[in-house]
Amino acid sequence: MLEREIIQTRGFKNTKDENGNVTGFEFRIRNSYYRGAWLSMYRPGDVVVDGVTYPAAETTWVVNGIEYTPAEMLEVEDEQWPIDKAATVKVKKAGGLEMGYHDVEISYRFIMSYIPPIVNSDEAFARMPAKPYTRRMILVN
The span of 18-26, 78-86, 88-96, 99-107 binding other proteins (CB under 8 A) equals 78-86
The nearest distance, CB 1 to other proteins, in angstroms, is 6
Binding mask 32-61 for other proteins (x = CB under 8 A): --xxxxx-xx--------------------
Give whichever of 22 and 76 is closer to other proteins, judged by the CB atom: 76
Q: Is 62 in the site for other proteins (CB under 8 A)?
A: no
How many Å apart are CA 94 and CA 72, to the nearest integer?
23
The nearest distance, CB 25 to other proteins, in angstroms, is 25
The binder of other proteins chosen from 52, 57, 66, 119 (CB under 8 A): 119
Q: Is 1 in the site for other proteins (CB under 8 A)?
A: yes
β-strands 22-29, 7-16 pairing: antiparallel
CB-based contacts of 61: which residues, under 8 Å, 6+ apart? 42, 44, 67, 68, 70, 73, 81, 87, 88, 89, 90
The binder of other proteins chosen from 50, 67, 77, 123 (CB under 8 A): 77
Binding site for other proteins (CB under 8 A): 1-4, 30, 34-38, 40-41, 74, 77-78, 80, 82-84, 111, 113-119, 121-122
